[in-house]
Structure 1
Amino acid sequence: MVYISSWDEFVERSIQLFKADPLSSRYVMKYRHCDGKLVLKVTDNRECLKFKTDQAQDAKKMEKLNNIFFTLMARGPTADITEVTGKEQPDMQPSKKGRGRRQ
C-alpha cells in the first residue's frame, strides 16, 4: 500500500480499478481531525490505491471524485463520466406568494 502523490494519477487509476471489477471494489474515506489528514483508499482486494492530504482545497477534488464514483455505481461501469461536473443543479420550485388576495 503505497500512497500516490499525484491527485490526477490517483483519480485515473482508481477509476480504472473500479471499472475493471466493480463488484469487489471499495472506496473508503477517512478523516482524522486531530491530525487534519484526509486519506482516500480504493481497493479491489488485489490492488490498493491510497491518497493522503492535509490541504483544505482538496475537499472540492474529493467531492468531484465522489460524484464520479456515484455515477459509475448508479449507471454502471460503462457510463460516460465526462458529463459529471461535480455540482448538481437543484430543481427550481415555484416561488410561494405571500398571503395576499387570490386573483
Structure 2
Amino acid sequence: MVYFDSWDEFVSKSVELFRNHPDTTRYVVKYRHCEGKLVLKVTDNRECLKFKTDQAQDAKKMEKLNTIFFTLMTHGPEADISDVSGKEQAEQQQPKKGRGRRQ
C-alpha cells in the first residue's frame, strides 16, 4: 500500500495501473468523518495506491480523476486522455430550454 503526497503522481500511477490491468483495477472514494479526510484508493488486488486529503479544493481534482477513469472504461485502456477535463466538458453542454409554465 502506497500513500502519495503529490496529486499528479497519484493520478499518473493510477492511470498506468488501470492501463496495465483494466479488468481488475477498481477505485474507491471514502470520506472519514472522524478525521475529516477524503481517501481515494486505486487497486488491482496486487498493488494498492492511496491519496488522502483534507482540502475541499481536491474534490474538483477527484471529479477530473473520475472523468478520466470513465473515459478509460468506456473507450478502452488505449484511449487518449490528454484532453479530458470534467469542468470543460460540462461547460460545452448547452442547457436545455424548458417548455414549462412561465411565472
Cα RMSD between the aligned structures?
Answer: 1.7
What amino acid is the match of 1:63? E
What amino acid is the match of 1:72? L
Q: How does 1:1-103 map to 2 (within 5 A)?
A: 1-87=1-87, 88=90, 89-94=92-97, 96=99
The list of structure 1 runs, each at least 4 consecutive aligned residues, that deviate by more than 4 angstroms after superposition, is none
| Cα separation, partners in 2 of 1:97 and 1:63, compared to 1, 3 Å | closer
**Runs (5+) with no aligned partner, structure 2:** none
TM-score w.r.t. length of structure 2: 0.86
Query: Of the two, which has the highest radius of gyration?
Result: 1
**Runs (5+) with no aligned partner, structure 1:** none
Structure with more helix by fraction: 2
Q: 1:54: how far off? A: 0.5
TM-score w.r.t. length of structure 1: 0.86
Identity among equivalent pairs (%) = 69
Matched residue count: 99
